[in-house]
């Protein structure tokens, strides 16, 4: 899989992709993440990518020209399954969307900044708009990192067996059961006996029961 991300602040995306599981996935060749600096596509000698909003008001708007130039260039290199704009008013991101996107081959993600992008970009270049929640961030970079992380950890081979994504919350419509590690007794706070019993069937039944109870309590819908 390949994920291309267009941003006017590429530095914001450096650390999320350069550590731990996401880094390993790239090193193993399971995913390629390529960040594109919008400023490289600016025609302006000061590498300007934003301008004042027509009609006035506070906040800058990312211009259509550099975005169009960048997207068009990338589209000549490969066919994108989705061209996604991160936007607070997009469809709410979920495990279901992560599962769906993890089956794609090429995904392009556009990050807005400031007041957002010129509406014509959304109308003519974007195939899907995704929000990571009903709140407003300063830019789409962290949101793009969230979406990419949720997708990449689902790719076969990215997680080892011990952290299998299938046992995580939402995959089976249930939230995950509680987990514990050593010590078995911390200042009198004991780990449930069943987990120390070595009886795998009982442990699985207990975990399932905990998942069901937690789901009823925390996500009854
Ligand atoms: N004026 C816009 C917000 C712009 S925030 C509005 O009121 O809707 C700047 C950029 O951050 C957006 O263009 C978008 O790319 C990103 N962003 C902000 N909040 C987001 C969210 N909840 N989910 C995804 N992207 C978000």
How far, in Å, is the centroid of ligand 1 from the Cα of 221? 27
pLDDT of residue 183 exceeding 80 = yes
Helix (H, G, I), strand (E, B), or coil: what is residue 21?
helix
Task: State in Å: Cα 171 to ligand 1 middle.
Answer: 27
Q: Is the CB of 135 under 6 A from ligand 1?
A: yes
- Mean pLDDT over 41-52 rounds to 96
Ligand 1 neighbour 88 (Cβ under 6 A): yes
What is the tens place of the pLDDT at every residue in 149-159? 999 999 999 99
* 140 CA to centre of ligand 1 in angstroms: 6
Task: Tell me the CA–centroid distance for residue 195 and ligand 1, in Å.
Answer: 44
Torsion angle, alpha carbons of 76, 156, 111, 141, to 10: -140
**Is residue 111 within 6 Å of ligand 1 at its C-beta?**
yes
Q: Is the pLDDT of residue 115 over 90?
A: yes
Q: How far is CA 173 from CA 38, 102, 127, 179, in A?
A: 39, 18, 27, 18
Sign, CA dihedral 181-179-209-99, equals: negative
Q: Considering only CA atoms, which residue is closest to atom 23 of ligand 1?
A: 131
Q: How many helices (H) and strands (E) does the chain have?
A: 8, 9
The answer to whether the CB of 146 is under 6 A from ligand 1 is: no
List strand residue ranges (DSSP E) for the chain, in order. Answer: 2-7, 32-37, 50-52, 60-62, 82-92, 106-110, 128-131, 185-186, 189-190
How confident is the model at residue 193, as a pLDDT?
A: 98
Per-residue pLDDT tens digits for 58-91: 999 999 999 999 999 999 999 999 999 999 999 9
Q: Which pTM does this prediction carry?
A: 0.96
**Is the shortest distance between the CB of 215 and ligand 1 below 6 Å?**
no
Ligand 1, atom 21, lies closest to the CA of: 88
The CA 179 to ligand 1 mean position distance, Å, reads 35
Q: Is residue 137 lining ligand 1, measured as CB closer than 6 Å? A: yes
């Amino acid at each position: 899989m390949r994920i291309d991300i267009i941003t006017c602040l590429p530095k914001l995306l450096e650390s999320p992709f350069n550590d731990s599981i996401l880094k390993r996935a790239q090193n193993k060749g399971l995913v390629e993440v390529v960040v594109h600096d919008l400023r490289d596509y600016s025609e302006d000698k000061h590498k300007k990518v934003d301008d004042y909003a027509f009609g006035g008001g506070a906040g800058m708007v990312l211009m259509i020209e550099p975005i169009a130039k960048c997207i068009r260039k990338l589209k000549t290199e490969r066919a994108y399954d989705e061209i996604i704009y991160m936007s607070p008013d997009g469809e709410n991101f979920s495990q279901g969307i992560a599962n769906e996107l993890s089956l794609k081959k090429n995904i392009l993600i556009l990050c807005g900044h400031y007041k957002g992008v010129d509406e014509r970009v959304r109308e003519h270049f974007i195939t899907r708009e995704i929000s990571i929640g009903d709140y407003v961030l300063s830019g789409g970079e962290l949101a793009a990192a969230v979406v990419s992380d949720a997708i990449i950890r689902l790719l076969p081979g990215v997680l080892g067996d011990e952290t299998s994504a299938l046992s995580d919350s939402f995959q089976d419509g249930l939230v995950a059961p509680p987990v514990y590690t050593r010590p078995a007794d911390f200042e009198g706070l004991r780990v449930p006996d069943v987990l120390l019993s070595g009886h795998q069937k009982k442990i699985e039944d207990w975990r399932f029961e905990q998942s069901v109870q937690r789901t009823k309590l925390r996500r009854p819908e």
